[in-house]
Structure 1
Amino acid sequence: MPLFDRLRAIPARWLDLALVALVLTAQLWPLLSSTRSWSWWGYAVVVAAAVPLLWRRRAPVVALMATLGAIALYDLSDRVASQPIWYGALVAMYSAAAYASRWTRVLALAVATVGGLAFTGSSDTAVRGVVLFVAAYAVGRAAAVSRSHAAALEERAAQLQRERQIEAERAAERERARIARDMHDILAHAVSLMVVQAEAGPVVVRSDPDRAEATFDAIAASGRDAMTQLRRLLGVLKEGEGLRAPQPTLADLPGLADQVAGPGLAVNYTVTGTPVPLPGDVDVAAYRVTQEALTNIVKHSGATRADIRFDWQDDELMIRITDDGGRAPHALPHGGNGLIGIRERAAACHGTASAGPRSDGPGFEVLVRLPLGAAA
């Protein structure tokens, strides 16, 4: 532990007591080191000039005036030792400069300077005393500025620490919300497909055994895919564990379309324009909103056909998912969690999302616009 830090750990009261003892010893030394017999007056004045330093922090100007007043009485007796340097007065001046308010400390310096020049018999001693007072004042101001700067740095560091903690909490909250959305999308999509395929299973078993086998294979594939994605998603919550496979992106959409397509539902996937690389969050969001829209079609629409259209424009990617069903969920933002999740994912990428009945015929449509500014 550095010496300075050890000194800071000592209570200020004990430090001031030690300082008074040191000053008292230094000021008594001319009296104690001589073989002559000095008057008790000199000892009393020396003690009176050192004791006020005990209050140098709480009342620095009062301590300075008390010390200077005691010093002025020293020469009232002829049987006293020569006292060229009053250390207590210098410490008191330092304390006034370090702890007193601006005009109070300036006034104290002026009083000490004028008093030193007026009541000191020797001009050399007077000039020397003034120089020492000014030096003590300058050192006190430097110490005060240094403490103020250190306090400002500590406050700034504490503020930065609080800001980092708040940002970490917000990041954790955003991550929890993202994981909740992803889990909803994965489970809703997989369970909806499994329910639809399972309901169709008994029908095709009687009418087309070959298609029945494919239906049950689709149920198993949906379950395995959901388990894989859930393991990957929950793996990030365990430090050092879990699969590190990437999140699904636009490249996985053809497979998603094939997975959703089944008995009674045809899925068409088209792309227009020139695709460009997307930031990771936008890429994942495009996949998830498409997945959720297809899940809603399977769960709610009763449609026989779904169309996925990706239109790459100059400044945005427009995703339009439509169906020809007669039933549809409520429009945003009053629908279920899935539609709200679509809106939130689009908003997180500075995009927009809308959903409602189609204007060009029966059915429902989801329209998502994601800006390409970040990609460019």
Structure 2
Amino acid sequence: MAPPFPRRAPAAVRHSARLLDLAFALITVVGVVTGVMAAEVRESPWAGLIPLALFLGALLLFRRRWPLIVLLLSIGAIFLYRFNSHFQGGWIWPASIAYFSAACTPRVRWVALIGAAQLVYAAVDFWPVLSENANRFLVHIAGEGLLLASLIGAGLCHATALRWRERLRETDGRARAAEERLRAAREVHDIVAHTLAVVGVQLNVAADTLEEAPDEAAAALRVAKDVRNRAMADLTSLIGVLRDTSDGTAPQPDLAALDTLIADARAAGLRVVLDQRGDPASLPAAPAVAVYRIVQEALTNTLKHAGATTAEVTIERAPSAVTVEVKDDGRGCEEIVESHGLAGMRERASALGGTLAVGSAPGGFSVRARIPVAGSPV
């Protein structure tokens, strides 16, 4: 069980904690002086009362670092004052905040033991009153016991609440990390699929032209090498996320990287026509990344499965949404199998409140997504 008072906290939290400790110290000083004087003790306050109150208040400034020591020193000071005065007003309440602070720690059993021992001593010390006024004795001891139980119970509740809040923060952090790793896994899939498709086409070109046209084969290999190098850089930036570390992360590609993506597809032998309408550059980061990845996955599927020669990419930026459509002239399909790529595109769109439609189009296959911008309804 972790201590409820962390050794290192943000500066604002530490400042607030110091102010709270100072407030508790002042409350204790005023409360002890007022309570003892209300009991009509005839000794001069400077003879022991004010030094006791100042000492108990000063101890509370260290209650977070040494709560059990503060409690023991507070009890010792109360004993010393009781032995040198005629005060009979109680043993527990002058150390109330010290008891509460110590009860917030994992050593709450020791706190209960110390409190019980002090309560037993209080009963022994107050025993002569039993024969004179049994009700007064019972009320006094029962009140001390009830106060002690309340202080320990409050400390336990406070510590439990702090631990629960910390667990909620940890759970939230783990959920965010898992979501980030899932996003990174999707990015890895998109990068690997696209790279393999482009590199595979270029290697086939190189193999077919190696003997008859060495220059063309060399150019194809250079394109494959460039695509591979860019993919390795992207993968390196994502591996850190999958390993629960932020080292080496890099911004995700957006519409500014579309030219490189389309150039790779063209180098693989696919004629790609890009039509951008409106002002796609004004897209926020999340929709821009989603549009890029949808185009990447759609072109990858076209290269791998469609047998197409031409693909048309249309991106239309409207005030409330962005629409992206990728159509090719390849083989359509009557039955669509929801692969990882299609599922990833659909998840990207739906995560931003958008929709995705895929299916055969006149003369080929079509992928169309509509994603709202700035929370506008689809």
Give the TM-score category using the shorter length: 0.5 to 0.7
Distance 1:171-1:263 versus aligned 2 partners, 3 A rule: closer
Q: Given that residues 256 and 291 in structure 1 are in contact (C-alpha distance below 8 angstroms), is that contact kept between their aligned partners in structure 2?
A: yes
Task: For 2:287 and 2:149, locate their aligned partners in 1 and report how far apart those are by CA, in whole Å.
Answer: 53
Task: For 1:155 and 1:240, locate their aligned partners in 2 and report how far apart those are by CA, in whole Å.
Answer: 30
**2:143 aligned with 1:94, yes or no?**
yes
**Displacement, 1:353?**
1.1
Q: Which residue of 1 aligns with 2:232?
A: 227
Q: Which residue of 2 aligns with 1:123?
A: none
**Displacement, 1:245?**
3.3
Where in structure 2 are the equivalents of 1:260-279 lying within 5 Å? 260-262=265-267, 264-275=269-280, 277-279=282-284
Q: Which residue of 1 aligns with 2:359?
A: 356
Question: What do the CA deviations read for 1:107-136 (whole angstroms, capped 9, x no partner)?
Answer: xxxxxxxxxxxxxxxxxxxxxxxxxxxxxx
Q: Given that residues 308 and 320 in structure 1 are in contact (C-alpha distance below 8 angstroms), is that contact kept between their aligned partners in structure 2?
A: yes
Q: Given that residues 237 and 250 in structure 2 are in contact (C-alpha distance below 8 angstroms), is that contact kept between their aligned partners in structure 1?
A: yes
Aligned to 1:261, the other structure's residue is in SS state helix
Q: Which residue of 1 aligns with 2:326?
A: 321
Aligned to 2:308, the other structure's residue is in SS state coil
Letter in 1 for 2:351: A
Structure 1 gaps, min length 5: 29-45, 47-70, 75-82, 99-139
Q: Given that residues 329 and 335 in structure 1 are in contact (C-alpha distance below 8 angstroms), is that contact kept between their aligned partners in structure 2?
A: no
**Displacement, 1:342?**
0.5
Q: Given that residues 321 and 376 in structure 2 are in contact (C-alpha distance below 8 angstroms), is that contact kept between their aligned partners in structure 1?
A: no
Q: Which residue of 2 aligns with 1:193?
A: 198
**Displacement, 1:285?**
1.6
Q: Given that residues 355 and 371 in structure 2 are in contact (C-alpha distance below 8 angstroms), is that contact kept between their aligned partners in structure 1?
A: yes
**Displacement, 1:325?**
0.3
Task: For 1:375 and 1:271, locate their aligned partners in 2 and report how far apart those are by CA, in whole Å.
Answer: 21
**2:288 aligned with 1:287, yes or no?**
no
Question: What do the CA deviations read for 1:15-56 (whole angstroms, capped 9, x no partner)?
Answer: 33442333323434xxxxxxxxxxxxxxxxx6xxxxxxxxxx
**Displacement, 1:279?**
3.2
Letter in 2 for 1:214: A
Q: Given that residues 119 and 144 in structure 2 are in contact (C-alpha distance below 8 angstroms), is that contact kept between their aligned partners in structure 1?
A: no
2:174 to 162, 169, 173: 169
Q: Which residue of 2 aligns with 1:251?
A: 256
**Displacement, 1:275?**
2.7
Q: Given that residues 294 and 345 in structure 2 are in contact (C-alpha distance below 8 angstroms), is that contact kept between their aligned partners in structure 1?
A: yes
Question: What do the CA deviations read for 1:318-349 (whole angstroms, capped 9, x no partner)?
Answer: 00011000255953xx4211111111111122
Taking structure 2 as the reference length, the TM-score comes to: 0.64
Aligned to 1:268, the other structure's residue is in SS state strand
Q: Which residue of 2 aligns with 1:39?
A: none
Where in structure 2 are the equivalents of 1:100-179 lying within 5 Å? 153-179=158-184
Q: Given that residues 318 and 370 in structure 1 are in contact (C-alpha distance below 8 angstroms), is that contact kept between their aligned partners in structure 2?
A: yes
Give the count of matched residue pairs: 277
**2:299 aligned with 1:298, yes or no?**
no
**2:349 aligned with 1:346, yes or no?**
yes
Question: What do the CA deviations read for 1:84-110 (whole angstroms, capped 9, x no partner)?
Answer: 7976323344168x4xxxxxxxxxxxx
Distance 1:148-1:84 versus aligned 2 partners, 3 A rule: closer
Distance 1:248-1:206 versus aligned 2 partners, 3 A rule: same
Distance 1:21-1:159 versus aligned 2 partners, 3 A rule: closer
Letter in 2 for 1:266: R
Distance 1:144-1:6 versus aligned 2 partners, 3 A rule: closer
Q: Given that residues 300 and 328 in structure 1 are in contact (C-alpha distance below 8 angstroms), is that contact kept between their aligned partners in structure 2?
A: no
Task: For 2:259 and 2:334, locate their aligned partners in 1 and report how far apart those are by CA, in whole Å.
Answer: 25
**Displacement, 1:184?**
0.6
Letter in 2 for 1:182: E
Where in structure 2 are the equivalents of 1:60-71 lying within 5 Å? 71=130
1:20 to 106, 120, 126: 120
Distance 1:163-1:318 versus aligned 2 partners, 3 A rule: same
**Displacement, 1:225?**
1.2
Aligned to 1:300, the other structure's residue is in SS state helix
Taking structure 1 as the reference length, the TM-score comes to: 0.64
Where in structure 2 are the equivalents of 1:205-220 lying within 5 Å? 205=210, 208-220=213-225
**Displacement, 1:239?**
7.5
Letter in 2 for 1:372: V
Task: For 1:149 and 1:11, locate their aligned partners in 2 and report how far apart those are by CA, in whole Å.
Answer: 13
Q: Which residue of 2 aligns with 1:67?
A: none
Distance 1:27-1:95 versus aligned 2 partners, 3 A rule: closer
Letter in 1 for 2:355: T
Q: Given that residues 276 and 375 in structure 1 are in contact (C-alpha distance below 8 angstroms), is that contact kept between their aligned partners in structure 2?
A: no
Task: Using the aligned pairs only, state the percent identity.
Answer: 30
Task: For 1:276 and 1:202, locate their aligned partners in 2 and report how far apart those are by CA, in whole Å.
Answer: 40
Distance 1:372-1:10 versus aligned 2 partners, 3 A rule: same
Letter in 2 for 1:318: T
Distance 1:207-1:371 versus aligned 2 partners, 3 A rule: farther
